[in-house]
Structure formats: structure tokens, C-alpha cells
Amino acid sequence: MNTPAIVARQLTKDYSIADRGDGLRGSLRTLAGRRTTKVRAVDDVSFEIPRGAIVGFLGPNGAGKSTTIKMMTGIIRPDTGDVSVLGVDPARQRIRNAQQIGVVFGQRSQLSWDVPVRESLRLVASIYGVTRADTESVIASAAAELELGPLLAKPTRQLSLGQKMRCEIAAALIHRPPVVYLDEPTIGLDVQVKELIRGYLQRINREFGTTIVLTTHDMGDVEALCQSVLVIDAGRVVFDGAIHDLKDTVEPRRTVIFRRSSGWSEGIVEELNAVLPDGARVEEAQDAVLTVVLDPLTTTSGRVVSAVASRYESDEVSVHEPTIEAVVRQIYAGALA
Ligand SMILES: Nc1ncnc2c1ncn2[C@@H]1O[C@H](COP(=O)(O)OP(=O)(O)OP(=O)(O)O)[C@@H](O)[C@H]1O
């Protein structure tokens, strides 16, 4: 049987935060370390990630995504519970773990500040024991796909945010790790750079079966990359599964839009609602656009289209699923609470 790449069981993590009192006295009390409050960042989180999957960790700010990923990478230890990554305990078997993972975390850089990027990449590769020939071939393919060309000769300190992120990704993947973690890999980047990064990650995943875990607030990343998502809210997993199941759980409605340049007659809403199948109703008819919503568990878009076509001709018909953006907005507003 295909064992999962990552297994997390009942992870819990608390942070202690010093209580900040007001004014000088409060600050002194904080310095003296008198009072702390515990914040439960991750609360009994369990999941499995299959080998070769690309999984998105979603959730509002402060939900516990980064803390969970930090436990998966071994940067921090869980207070209770355990993680296994390809059979390795990341916090206890640090060297074995480092060999098999690649990490891109915004605040941490693998690149040397004053050294040309090409030399930085070679240095990182040598730390992982990658042969010279493999290093040069990985740099060449990353340079082509991530458009690093002229950047390789520049020191990291001269790079823009998007340029640096592309180089960080090349560095994190230089030893072709089977598992890769990325924290917000496209945050603040322009659309073209986002697409380069997504394309590179897709290719690595396809070609080498790399398991990729990413946190993101960018639903374009999710649409382009992730087959499944793990939604975390207030430290707990509120959804773990395929994106289409997430859509069906949160917002199962489909929308059928009919366009007719001559417009829709008055009273069409009542007229069509009388003939539409159960589970479908006209939401609105405005100017050229008629919108029908339907519950896919009760009826089909085909039946809706037939019912409307039996009465009216349309110039154009389209069927829409909810966007992942709309679904996630609903989750953050409490739809899965
Ligand atoms: N080093 C720390 N010390 C104290 N509290 C922390 C620390 N890191 C995170 N927290 C708290 O733990 C909770 C979870 O934070 P975490 O960074 O894991 O969330 P996140 O889902 O990654 O959020 P974001 O989308 O904003 O990056 C938050 O309440 C946060 O304030």
C-alpha cells in the first residue's frame, strides 16, 4: 500500500505571551517576566498527506497554518502529538529530515546576502552533497523555467521581492527533495512571476512526484496547484479533502446564466419559476441576463436549460460553479464553524 508522505497525529502547540501592562510599570513587569498568557495556536490537529500530492493550507490570519507547518518541518516541536515525514520525526531526526525536505519561509533565506545567486545556489547544493554536475543541471533548468538568467550574477541584496522569491525556490529545490513546504510563495508578486512559480512547482511535482505543502491566501495558487486543501480555523482542522468536495460542502449551488440581447419579458421570474424543475429557481432577470440557481443534488443544469429553452431562446448559456474565492470567503465568515 502507498504509505502517506506526511502523517500528523493530534498536534497541539501553545505559545506563552508576556502580558503587556500599560505604561512604564507594565513594561517593567513584562521585563520581570511576571505574567504570561497561553495562546493555543494548534489544537488537536491530525491529517495525512499522500505522496506526490500538492496540498494547500488555508485559513484566516492567525489560524495556525504556519505553526502547523513549522512542526512539520521540525522548526518547532509539538507540545503533544507527533509528525512523521517519510518515516522521519522532523524535530528529533533533524539531519535526515533536512536531506529530504525543501523549505521556503518568507523570513528565512538560504541565499547569502552579498554573494552572487549562482554561488549561493552552489553553496547550498554542496551542503546537501549534490554533485557538481547535478547542481549545474538543476541551476540550468531553474534558470530557464524561473527566468533567473541575469539574476544569477547578482548578489541577493540587489534582488527585488519577486526576483528573490524565484531564487529562494530554486535554492529550496536544489537537492530535489521529495517533500517541499512553502509559506505564501506568491505573496506580493506580480501575475507573471506568480505564473512562473506555479509552473515550476507543477513541473517538479509531475516529473519527480514531489509532495508539496503550501500556505496561501491567494486562491489563484489554490486553483492552479492544489488538488486538495486543509482548512484550519482557530487552531483546528475544519476541512480536509478535495476542492470540489469543499465547494459542495460550503456552497453546493450552481448558477446557470442565460443571455438574450433583446432582454427578458416582464413577469418572467414567476413564469419560469412555475416550470423550472424542483431545486431550481430564477434568482434575477436584469436587462440581458437571466440568472437561475440550482441545487445539484436535486436537479441538473441540463434540465434547467431545457425548461428555459422550451419557452425562450437565448443567445448564450453558461453554467458556473462557485469560485474557490467565494467558498473560502464563506468559510472565513463561519460557514464551517
Ligand atoms: N512566536 C509566537 N509567539 C507567540 N504567539 C505566536 C507565535 N507565532 C504565532 N503565534 C500565535 O499563534 C496563532 C497562530 O499563528 P500562525 O502564525 O500559526 O497563524 P497563520 O494561520 O499562519 O496566520 P497568517 O495567515 O496570518 O500567517 C496566532 O494567534 C499567533 O498570534
Span from the CA of 67 to the centroid of ligand 1 (angstroms): 6
Span from the CA of 330 to the centroid of ligand 1 (angstroms): 22
Q: Looking at ligand 1, which atom is closest to the CA of residue 16?
A: 4
Residue 46: count other Cβ atoms within 10 Å of its Cβ. 12
Burial class (CB in 10 A: 0-12, 13-18, 19+), 217: middle
Where do we find the cell 522548526?
75
What's the pLDDT band for 333 if we cut at 50, 70, 90? confident
Specify if 331 maps to a domain: no
pLDDT for position 36: 83
Return the percentage of the chain with pLDDT > 70, whole number.
Answer: 96
Strand ranges for 50-194 from DSSP E: 54-58, 80-85, 101-104, 179-183
Residues 298 and 169 in one domain: no
Q: Looking at ligand 1, which atom is closest to the CA of residue 42?
A: 14
pLDDT for position 228: 94
Q: What is the mean pLDDT of the chain?
A: 92
pLDDT tens digits along 204-216:
999 999 999 999 9
Which residue's CA lies nearest to atom 3 of ligand 1?
Answer: 15
Specify if 234 maps to a domain: yes
Q: Report how far residue 142's alpha carbon sits from residue 308's, in angstroms, rounded to the nearest whole number.
A: 52
pLDDT tens digits along 88-129:
999 999 999 999 999 999 778 889 999 999 999 999 999 999
Structural domain span for residue 307: 254-321
Span from the CA of 28 to the centroid of ligand 1 (angstroms): 25
Span from the CA of 14 to the centroid of ligand 1 (angstroms): 10
Span from the CA of 65 to the centroid of ligand 1 (angstroms): 8
pLDDT tens digits along 152-210:
999 999 999 999 999 999 999 999 999 999 999 999 899 999 999 999 999 999 999 99
Q: Which residues contact 279 (CB under 8 A, 6 or more apart)?
A: 294, 295, 297, 298, 299
Q: Report how far residue 36's alpha carbon sits from residue 88's, in angstroms, rounded to the nearest whole number.
A: 34
Q: How far is CA 111 from the centre of its chain?
A: 24
pLDDT for position 298: 93
pLDDT tens digits along 264-310:
988 999 999 999 999 999 999 999 999 999 998 899 999 999 999 99
The residue type at 219: M
What's the pLDDT band for 21 if we cut at 50, 70, 90? low
pLDDT for position 274: 95
Q: Which residues contact 164 (CB under 8 A, 6 or more apart)?
A: 109, 111, 156
Residues 218 and 155 in one domain: yes
> How many residues are listed for the chain in this entry?
337
Q: What is the ipTM of this complex?
A: 0.97
Maximal C-alpha separation, the chain: 79
Burial class (CB in 10 A: 0-12, 13-18, 19+), 212: buried
Which residue's CA lies nearest to atom 5 of ligand 1?
Answer: 15
Residues 217 and 276 in one domain: no
Domain end (from 224, 248, 272): 248
pLDDT (mean) for 60-72: 94
Residues 303 and 207 in one domain: no
Specify if 233 maps to a domain: yes
Check pLDDT > 70 for residue 28: no
Among residues 109, 119, 188, which one has the least CA distance to residue 155? 119
Domain end (from 211, 229, 248): 248
- Cβ of 67 closer than 6 Å to ligand 1, yes or no, is yes
Residues 175 and 238 in one domain: yes
pLDDT for position 88: 97
Among residues 213, 241, 217, 253, which one has the least CA distance to residue 328? 217
CATH at residue 259: 3.30.70
Asked whether 301 and 293 are in contact (CB, 8 A), the reply is no
Q: Report how far residue 73's alpha carbon sits from residue 181's, in angstroms, rounded to the nearest whole number.
A: 8
Q: Looking at ligand 1, which atom is closest to the CA of residue 232?
A: 21
The residue type at 122: R
Query: Which of helix, strand or coil describes residue 319?
Result: strand
CATH at residue 236: 3.40.50.300
- Cβ of 73 closer than 6 Å to ligand 1, yes or no, is no
Which residue's CA lies nearest to atom 12 of ligand 1?
Answer: 41
Burial class (CB in 10 A: 0-12, 13-18, 19+), 268: middle
DSSP labels, 275-293? HSPTTEEEEEEETTEEEEE
Domain end (from 229, 248, 267): 248
How is residue 154 written as a grid cell?
Answer: 547578482
Q: Report how far residue 69's alpha carbon sits from residue 73's, in angstroms, rounded to the nearest whole number.
A: 6
Q: Report how far residue 246's alpha carbon sits from residue 237's, in angstroms, rounded to the nearest whole number.
A: 13
Specify if 68 maps to a domain: yes
Residues 204 and 301 in one domain: no
Asked whether 216 and 186 are in contact (CB, 8 A), the reply is yes
- Cβ of 64 closer than 6 Å to ligand 1, yes or no, is yes
What's the pLDDT band for 249 if we cut at 50, 70, 90? confident
Residues 298 and 185 in one domain: no
- Angle between helices 132-145 and 117-127 in degrees, nearest 10: 130
pLDDT for position 154: 96
- Cβ of 61 closer than 6 Å to ligand 1, yes or no, is yes
Span from the CA of 18 to the centroid of ligand 1 (angstroms): 15
Domains of the chain: total: 2
User: What is the pTM (predicted TM-score) of this model?
Assistant: 0.86
pLDDT for position 248: 83
Span from the CA of 50 to the centroid of ligand 1 (angstroms): 26
- Angle between helices 132-145 and 161-172 in degrees, nearest 10: 140
Q: Report how far residue 143's alpha carbon sits from residue 200's, in angstroms, rounded to the nearest whole number.
A: 11
Specify which residues 285 forms β-bridges with.
Answer: 290
